[in-house]
């Protein structure tokens, strides 16, 4: 049987039907989300990261449930998805994971204004770092060879977009109000680090790769904090999993974002989604 990695998506993967899936398969998790968030995060998912992150976290665990809780030999998560992967792997308790996700979403929402710019097209991965450096931005998400996201001050986004277009890339400003995965998120780190110190972290049942290092987690608390300001090295994480013998990638949802990125990054692998 093929070596399998279970993938947990990040923000931007929400779907209209994900609340129904959680209500059907994990009503207890829906109740917990209402308690922790204070509002229904699914109804407010487009109103900010403080709602989107807990909603997607719950929907991902429900998607994992829908597939019969497959474990695989490896797990990995894109940004927010790292917390879902760590819960599924047994490194974090579910309630602790959801409380951390809700806090993370709120802190990122409050960390200050900024913008993000998606670069799409042949050569995006090769051009992104030079573009970011030239315009005072950071590479936030290295998603696939043809998709990289820059992050930073809103004022720098238009010039970077124009420069990207002159290089033959498509440039699309993302509908967010924060410069996620950039130094502008540093204000979120201290409170998130303090919260992580208050939860139990145990050895995961399966190997979970960090998208900060594209290697297995070594210090879960330290690396989750680092993920706030560090790039999501998703392309490298997929390549690292493949190099470890993974031939089957299962995205637990919601949506098919990670399946699409895997298709653009790897060839001759099996792709499954919830």
Residue-level pLDDT at 113: 84
b/e burial code for range 51-74 (CB count within 10 A of at least 16 → b): bbbbbbbbbbbbbbbeeeeeebbb
User: 161: closest CA among 126, 115, 229?
Assistant: 115
Q: What value does the mean pLDDT take over residues 82-102?
A: 98
**Spatial distance between the Cα atoms of 181 and 230, rounded to a whole number of angstroms:** 5
Flag whether pLDDT at 274 surpasses 90. no
**Spatial distance between the Cα atoms of 217 and 61, rounded to a whole number of angstroms:** 20
CATH for 115-173 is: 3.30.70.250
Residue-level pLDDT at 175: 85
What digits encode the pLDDT tens for the residues 22-59?
A: 999 999 999 999 999 999 999 999 998 999 999 999 99
Flag whether pLDDT at 208 surpasses 90. yes
Flag whether pLDDT at 259 surpasses 80. yes
Residues 6+ apart with CB under 8 A from 242: 266, 269
User: 56: closest CA among 252, 263, 229, 191?
Assistant: 252
**Spatial distance between the Cα atoms of 255 and 274, rounded to a whole number of angstroms:** 8
21-102-118 Cα angle (round to 5): 80
| Annotation marks residue 181 as catalytic | yes
What digits encode the pLDDT tens for the residues 105-156?
A: 999 999 878 999 999 999 999 999 999 999 999 999 999 999 999 999 999 9
Selecting among 13, 60, 79, 230, the annotated active-site residue is: 79
User: 73: closest CA among 223, 209, 181, 177?
Assistant: 209
Residue-level pLDDT at 112: 77
In this structure, of 65-74, 212-221, 237-246, the range with the lowest mean pLDDT score is: 65-74
**Spatial distance between the Cα atoms of 113 and 152, rounded to a whole number of angstroms:** 9
Q: What value does the mean pLDDT take over residues 189-205?
A: 97
Selecting among 109, 135, 151, 181, the annotated active-site residue is: 181
Q: What value does the mean pLDDT take over residues 4-24?
A: 95
User: What is the model's pTM?
Assistant: 0.95
In whole numbers, what is the pLDDT of the chain averaged over residues? 96
Could you say which architecture CATH assigns to the domain 3-111+182-273? 3-Layer(aba) Sandwich (3.40)
Residue-level pLDDT at 40: 95
**Spatial distance between the Cα atoms of 41 and 33, rounded to a whole number of angstroms:** 7
Domain coordinates in residue numbering, the chain: 3-111+182-273, 115-173
| Annotation marks residue 135 as catalytic | no
Residue-level pLDDT at 266: 97
Phi and psi at 204, nearest 5°, equal -65, 150
**How many contiguous H segments (helices) and E segments (strands) does the chain have?**
11, 10
């Amino acid at each position: 049987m093929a070596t399998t990695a279970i993938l947990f998506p990040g923000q931007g993967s929400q779907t209209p039907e994900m609340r129904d899936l959680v209500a059907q398969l994990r009503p207890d998790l829906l109740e917990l989300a209402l308690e922790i968030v204070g509002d229904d995060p699914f109804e407010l998912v487009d109103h900010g990261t403080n709602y989107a992150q807990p909603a997607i976290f719950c929907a991902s665990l429900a998607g994992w449930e829908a597939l019969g809780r497959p474990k695989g030999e490896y797990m990995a998560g894109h940004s927010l998805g790292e917390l879902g992967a760590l819960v599924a792997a047994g490194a974090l308790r579910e309630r602790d994971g959801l409380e951390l996700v809700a806090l993370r979403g709120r802190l990122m929402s409050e960390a200050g204004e900024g913008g993000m710019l998606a670069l799409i097209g042949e050569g995006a991965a090769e051009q992104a770092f030079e573009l970011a450096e030239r315009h005072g931005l950071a590479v936030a998400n290295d998603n696939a060879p043809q998709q990289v996201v820059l992050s930073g001050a809103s004022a720098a986004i238009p010039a970077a977009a124009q420069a990207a277009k002159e290089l033959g890339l498509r440039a699309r400003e993302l509908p967010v109000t924060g410069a996620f995965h950039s130094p502008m998120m540093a204000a979120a780190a201290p409170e998130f680090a303090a919260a992580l110190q208050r939860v139990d972290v145990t050895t995961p049942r399966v190997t979970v790769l960090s998208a900060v290092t594209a290697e297995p987690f070594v210090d879960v608390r330290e690396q989750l904090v680092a993920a706030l300001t560090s790039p999501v090295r998703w392309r490298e994480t997929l390549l690292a999993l493949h190099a470890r013998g993974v031939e089957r990638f299962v995205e637990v949802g919601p949506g098919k974002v990670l399946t699409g990125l895997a298709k653009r990054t790897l060839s001759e692998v099996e792709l499954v989604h919830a």
